[in-house]
Copies of this chain bind each other. A is one copy, B any other.
Amino acid sequence: MPALPRFVPIHSRDNPQLKAWRRLAQDAQAYRKLGALWLEGEHLCSVVRDAGLPVQTVVLSQSRLAQPGWQQWLPAAGSHACVALDDTLFAQVSALESCAGLAYVLPWRGAGSVRASVPTVVLDRLQDAGNVGAILRSAAAFGFRQVVALQGTAALWSPKVVRAGMGAHFSLQLVEQAPLQALDALQLPLLLTSSHAGAWLHEAPLPWPSAWVLGHEGQGVSPALAALPHQAVRIAQPGGQESLNVATAAAICLHANATQALQQGLLQVDGGLHAPAF
């Protein structure tokens, strides 16, 4: 049995590492400047640990270190620093209402580049972190492997989006701050939802693999993007014509596409965690 690591304590709120973590935890775009991710709480950390992703630093609160079982949060492989934070300091770093006293710091791998032909979701200037996280979660659940966030979309690795994504980030190829021209690299048919045009989603044959384009909560897909060749589909709303929330519409479309692909044998229910690029 290997020796347990020594946890280096931090007691000062002026510690520069602590200040950096506070920025990562509380500022939506700090990860782009600092090149690191602050992932907090049991669910996210267990996803990272079980996927064997590289952890830079394991951060535990003193009270968590005093409880039995904290050793489960040591990643099995790789080298990582271990830091013990006073509970009050951890709570000052944390952006969560109930502080878990558990976080991993991971390297951020950069904005990514578009892969040509894996099933993809394109986000066109979506603003709401909850919507973006929910869409990543649906994309991962339904067998999509890549999410391309065009310029103007909420930062994919912001703490709010990561929390809403519930670990989906780690099974997707993520591309951020992409200009519209980046879509030229996609060798996939584009699918758009429309409120007034196209075949009904529940009747239309849908290609696989494909790229679904989801637009801004208020303005929808930009005219330049809508001018690209695409297939439009409509979601039937027998109860009325109010617009659906974009994350709701996304879940319905991605599920419909994936289940058609399942029925055609183009996709299997495999239940595995895929970490294509992290």
Name A residues whose Cβ lies closer than 8 Å to a Cβ of B.
130, 134, 137-145, 166-168, 171, 200-203, 235-242, 244-245, 247-248, 251-252, 255-256, 258-259, 261-263, 267-274
Contact = CB atoms under 8 A, between A and B. Distances in A.
B271 A240 contact: yes
A242 B142 contact: no
Nearest to A248: B251
Contact of A134 (B143, B248, B261): B248
Interface of A, secondary structure class, is loop
Contacts of A263: 202-203
Top 5 A-B pairs, shortest CB-CB distance = A202-B259, A143-B238, A143-B239, A248-B251, A141-B237
Given A134-B245, A137-B248, A248-B134, A255 B235 contact: yes
Contact of A255 (B167, B252, B268): B252
Contact of A271 (B130, B237, B251): B237
A200 B168 CA distance: 23
Contacts of A261: 238
A222 B244 CA distance: 29
Contacts of A171: 239-240
Contacts of A242: 137, 140-141, 166-168
Contacts of A142: 237-239
**Which of A201, A241, A244, A248 has the most chain B CB atoms inside 10 A of its CB?**
A248
Contacts of A273: 240
